[in-house]
Chains A and B, each alone.
Chain A
Amino acid sequence: MNAEKLHDALNYLDDSMILETDRLRHKKKKTVIFRRFVSVAACICIVATTVFGIGHMRSIKENSPLDENFETSQNNGDIPPAPENSQSTENQPPAPDNSDPSYNPAPPTDESAPEKDPEQDENSESAEESAPADEWVPDEESAPAEEMPPLEEDPPAEEAPPTEDSSSDEKDEPEWRIHKLVVKVTHITEDGFKGYVRNENNIYGINEYVTVISNEREKPEIGGMVDVYFYEYDGYTVYAERIFVVKE
Chain B
Amino acid sequence: MRDEKIIDLYWERNEQAIKHTDEKYGKYLSKIAYNILADKEDSNESVNDTYLAAWNSMPPQRPTALSAYLGKITRQISIDIFRKRNREKRKGSEFAVSYDELNDILSAGDLTEEQVQAKLLGEAINRFLSDQPKEVRNLFIGRYYFLDPLKEAARYCGMSEGKAKSILYRTRCMLKEYLQKEGFEI
Give which listed residue, B123, B130, B141, B146, contacts A12 with CB less than 8 A. Answer: B123
Chain A interface main SS type: helix
Give min CB distance, B115 to chain A, whole Å.
Answer: 8
Residue of B64, B76, B119, B138 touching A20 (CB-CB under 8 A): B138
Pick from A4, A9, A16, A25: contact of B148, CB below 8 A. A25
- Per-position binary interface string of chain B over residues 50-69, scored 1 when its CB falls under 8 Å from any chain A CB and 0 otherwise: 00000000000001110111
- CB-nearest residue of chain A relative to B64? A15
B139's nearest neighbour on chain A, judged by CB, is A21
Q: How far is the CA of A4 from the CA of B87 in the complex (A)?
A: 14
Asked whether B145 is an interface residue with its Cβ less than 8 Å from the other chain, the reply is yes
Interface flags for B143-178 (1: CB within 8 Å of A; 0: not) read: 011101000000111100000000000000000000
Task: Indicate with 1 or 0, residue by residue over A16-32, a CB within 8 angstroms of chain B CB atoms.
Answer: 11111110110111001
Q: Is the CB of A12 within 8 A of B126?
A: yes
What residues of A have a CB within 8 angstroms of the CB of B65 in the complex? 15-16, 18-19
Residues of B within 8 Å of A, CB-based: how many? 40
Cα-based distance from A7 to B125 in the complex (angstroms) = 11
Cβ contact within 8 Å between B156 and A29: yes
Q: B132 to chain A: closest CB distance in Å?
A: 10
Q: How far is the CB of A148 from chain B (nearest CB, A)?
A: 74
A6 pairs with B121, CB closer than 8 A: yes
Q: How far is the CA of A14 from the CA of B68 in the complex (A)?
A: 9
8 Å CB contact of A10 from B67, B122, B156: B122
A15 touches B79 (CB 8 A): no
B99 is an interface residue with CB less than 8 A from chain A:
no
Find the residue from A7, A10, A24 having the highest chain B CB count within 10 A: A10
| Residues of chain A with a CB closer than 8 A to B117's CB | 5
> With A and B bound together, what is the CA distance between A37 and B124 in angstroms?
43
Give the residue of B69, B137, B155, B186 whose beta carbon is less than 8 angstroms from that of A15.
B69
Residue of B nearest to A7 (CB): B79
- Determine the distance from Cα of A20 to Cα of B134 in the docked complex, in whole angstroms: 9
CB distance from A30 to the nearest CB of B (A): 10
Interchain nearest-CB distance for A200 vs B (Å): 78
- Select A13's contact among B69, B83, B145, B158, beta carbons within 8 Å: B145
Give complex CA distance A25, B146 in Å.
10
Judge if A1 is at the interface, Cβ distance under 8 Å: yes
Cross-chain contact B121 with A17 (CB below 8 angstroms): no
Q: Interface residues, chain B, CB within 8 Å of chain A?
A: 63-65, 67-69, 71-72, 75-76, 79, 83, 114, 117-119, 121-126, 129-130, 134, 137-138, 141-142, 144-146, 148, 155-158, 184-186
Cβ contacts A to B, 18 pairs, < 8 Å: A1-B184, A1-B185, A6-B125, A6-B144, A8-B76, A8-B114, A9-B118, A11-B76, A13-B126, A13-B129, A17-B130, A17-B137, A18-B71, A19-B68, A20-B137, A21-B137, A21-B142, A24-B142
